[in-house]
Chain A
Amino acid sequence: MELKHHEIEELLGVYALDAVSAEEADLVETHIRECPRCRAEVAAHREVAASLAHVGSTAPPGVWSRIAGNLEEAPPQLDMARVVSMRGRSPRRSVPLRAAAAMVAIAAAVIALLGVQVSQLNGKTDQLDVALRRQGLDQAAQSALFDESARKVDLRSEDGATFAKAVLRDNGEAYLVGNNLPKLPDDQTYQLWAVVGNRTVSIGVLGPEPGVSPFKVAGAGVSALAVTAEQSGGVVVSAKTPVVRGLLPVV
């Protein structure tokens, strides 16, 4: 069934109150993904509905402890980081990245697995403070690049035409300088991966137009970095050939 725009509009109020059938909900959801005006109207209706809630109520005792007890465990063996953005938190589990299989093999031969922590400190799409921090990030990345003891990695495409640079300091601070990566369509994002031993782990979702992205690497287990282009929000397992990739110098 397909509805005309004005028929969808008539459903927006009842949709916002969950007062439609499942089929109608699907129709509206499909429509508002593409229609910013209708999406905004639904959001406005939901704000109104939220105002009707009983703001003075207190949370029931005991529920928080049940929630806290059900939170996911900390990252497993590799203690891999939480990689997050407002658009999509990457999985904690390390995953195979088929496209980087060759790099994995090299890395596995060279790198002993040490305790590694990789944590992206700032989500690329953190809409609150990215703008304020951008200048500071650039300076921090430049400072790291001038640090002689820092490990620098050139990430390149197979034809060498596309490149990015990563710098990893001894204190775990790391930056990906991705200003030269071509801008992706808005429904896509770059995603940064690390090869650790024989595993490939998502470090973070960088957005469609990455500038300088900070992350953290503690330990020496990361042998290679790769950047793929993925659908917005990122993926658990990438089947894509890396846009750029590079091996870290052996410490």
Chain B
Amino acid sequence: MSIALQEISDSGLVVAIARYREDALAEAYRRHAGAVFALARRVLADLTTAEEVVQEVFLRLWNQPDKFDPDRGSLRSYLLAQTHGRSVDLLRSDTSRRRREEREARRTAEAGYDLEHEVWDLTVADKVKEAVAVLPVAERRAIELAYFGGHTYREVATLLGEPEGTVKSRIRAGLQRMRSALKSSELSDTGDVAWN
């Protein structure tokens, strides 16, 4: 009995990957590498490093498929959490941070670049945009700076001139608010929806 890989769920793909099915990894790559790459590029603002992160994330899935626990979320959110974590690690290393800041400063000077504005424009799903729109500005800005800017909440607090506790609360409340909005639009399970 053989089922086309294109027809099986993400969780099924990971089972096949755990059995050393390279074609299953290729299918997971086809479904999610675009989002992985986009997030890494967005956080790192560096094409080459973002590609390296993509490579790392999928090799890690190949080498340690057991790290993915379907009970704890979709494959997509797992891969993106891996991507974000690795990107932030790189970003927080001195060299990468300096390069990124120089690049951002140059772009800002050259084209009036607005990182946060670009970030939200790139968010493609309309229902996600709607969910983002329900956020109060203060929550949205805190999430933007933390998630896409790769800042710690302490850095976000400094940037926004807010107490650290307030930033923590806003980020948590904002994520919960978005979750509710996405649920109500039946988009809360992004994992197995997005690749179809």
Measured CB to CB, the residues of A under 8 A from B are: 10-14, 16-21, 39-40, 43-60, 62-64, 66-68, 70-72, 74, 82, 84-89, 119, 123, 126-128, 233
What separation, in Å, do the CA atoms of A127 and B72 have in the docked complex? Answer: 13
Q: B residues within 8 A CB of A68? A: 22, 26
Q: A residues within 8 A CB of B69? A: 86
What separation, in Å, do the CA atoms of A17 and B175 have in the docked complex? Answer: 10
B163 located at the interface, meaning its Cβ lies under 8 Å from any Cβ of chain A in the complex: no
Q: B residues within 8 A CB of A53? A: 35-36, 38-39, 76, 80
**What is the predominant secondary structure among interface residues of chain B facing chain A?**
helix
Say yes or no: A126-B39 contact (C-beta < 8 A), given A11-B168, A46-B73, A89-B65. no
List 6 contacting pairs A-B, 8 Å CB cutoff, sorted by A. Answer: A10-B169, A45-B179, A47-B74, A50-B35, A59-B30, A60-B51
Q: Quick check: B19 and A12 within 8 Å, CB to CB?
A: no
Q: A residues within 8 A CB of B14? A: 86
Q: Quick check: B156 and A59 within 8 Å, CB to CB?
A: no
Q: How many A-B residue pairs have CB under 8 A?
A: 204
Q: A residues within 8 A CB of B70? A: 86, 127
Q: A residues within 8 A CB of B175? A: 13, 16-17, 44-45, 48-49
| Given A13-B172, A16-B175, A68-B26; 17 other pairs, CB 8 A cutoff | A10-B165, A13-B171, A17-B146, A19-B153, A47-B74, A50-B74, A50-B80, A52-B123, A53-B76, A54-B42, A54-B124, A59-B36, A63-B51, A84-B20, A86-B14, A88-B66, A89-B66
B45 located at the interface, meaning its Cβ lies under 8 Å from any Cβ of chain A in the complex: no
Among A19, A20, A53, A63, find the residue whose CB has the most chain B CB atoms closer than 10 A: A53
Q: Quick check: B124 and A56 within 8 Å, CB to CB?
A: yes
For residue B69, which residue of chain A has the nearest CB? A86
A213 CB → nearest B CB, Å: 14
B184 located at the interface, meaning its Cβ lies under 8 Å from any Cβ of chain A in the complex: no
Measured CB to CB, the residues of B under 8 A from A are: 9, 11-12, 14-15, 18-20, 22, 25-26, 29-30, 33-39, 42, 47, 50-51, 54-55, 58-59, 62-66, 68-74, 76-78, 80-81, 84-85, 88, 122-125, 128, 131-132, 143, 146-147, 150-154, 156, 165, 167-169, 171-176, 178-179, 182, 187-191, 194
What separation, in Å, do the CA atoms of A18 and B54 have in the docked complex? Answer: 18
What separation, in Å, do the CA atoms of A54 and B63 have in the docked complex? Answer: 26
Q: Per a CB cutoff under 8 Å, which of A39, A55, A85, A89 touches B35?
A: A55
What separation, in Å, do the CA atoms of A46 and B26 have in the docked complex? Answer: 24
Q: B residues within 8 A CB of A60? A: 33, 37, 47, 50-51, 54
What separation, in Å, do the CA atoms of A21 and B189 have in the docked complex? Answer: 29
For residue B81, which residue of chain A has the nearest CB? A46
